[in-house]
Structure 1
């Protein structure tokens, strides 16, 4: 079994405003390339959270891949606590609930309300010990990004365990944008 934890920037950290934002097409293109490569290399599970941004987009892309090319690929949505997303607006809550209903497995790591930084660190430990590699969309220059905590956790874990981490920084994302644009011109 080969399980991937994909996480990273929140949508607002990337300045993505809605489903029609051109940046989203590039980001989903990058996610799709990464997932296809991982699946072809033997990955059989995507395990991620439900944060708006990379995590939800990864689930959407994985669901599309599962429906078209990789029906055996499995998707799990693991939230850090039971009332995760309850403070979001109605549309965002509905989107999270739809994703939960479409994945192969959905659960919460900790029962109850948000319990602070220690709870989030326990969630990170859970994700690290239940996956075999990490893919994170994160850039060192993004000092305000909440993805920094996951990046640090992945890197520290990889120092002690066989846990490959692929970081997609803004330069690498620009490479995907160029590749995406080239493909658009070819079609």
Structure 2
């Protein structure tokens, strides 16, 4: 689904979505990762060809880290795109296991820009609201892997985006639902 009320050029695109556990992804070589990467690679190429210069994302395991891999691949293919990783607070990965902390370190080293919004560790949900506000104010649109019929963590970002669009009708929202992802997977494997 694509929601766009105004016609304007997008330069900065926020990409977010489901966490790995919400997608049932528990190994890096899960076939779902390949499908998600290829889907988003096609979408990001389309956005680049239409003027997007920066991808902004968080650092959650799942969609956001997959996006980091996609941007890295696109750079190796000579696409002109930059990756900014914005993390809501210090010690974001505090409860993660060592393997996931290592993934985060690799992810952040490959980013063109990286910053914590708060110098504090997690204190309360206001830090997450501030992060959403920052992402919205510093982007022209969002590409979100979120299915309205399959509630998960992205619902909070989705609600923030909808509220923001009420006051900023030129802000773009593209939702990727499970049906779209499944259709893409079917076509991807039909070609093998």
TM-score (norm 1): 0.93
Q: Secondary structure at the match of 1:120?
A: helix
How far did residue 17 of structure 1 move?
A: 2.1
Q: Deviation per CA, 1:13-55, whole angstroms, max 9, x where unpaired? A: 0001212111111111111011111101110000100000000
Matched, 1:82 2:90: yes
Matched, 1:65 2:65: no
Could you tell me which residue of structure 1 aligns to residue 44 of structure 2? 35
Larger RCO, structures 1/2 (Cα 8 Å, 6+ apart): 2
Matched, 1:114 2:122: yes
Could you tell me which residue of structure 2 aligns to residue 159 of structure 1? 166
Give 1:135-154 correspondences, 5 Å limit. 135-143=143-151, 145-154=152-161
Q: When the two structures are aligned, how many residues end up with a matched partner?
A: 182
Matched, 1:46 2:51: no
Q: Runs of 4+ in structure 1 displaced over 3 angstroms?
A: none
Structure 2 residues without counterparts, runs of 5 or longer: 1-9
Q: Distance in 2 between matches of 1:2 and 1:65?
A: 17
How far did residue 75 of structure 1 move?
A: 0.6
Structure 1 residues without counterparts, runs of 5 or longer: none
Q: Distance in 2 between matches of 1:74 and 1:150?
A: 22
- Judging by fraction of residues, say which structure has more helix: 1
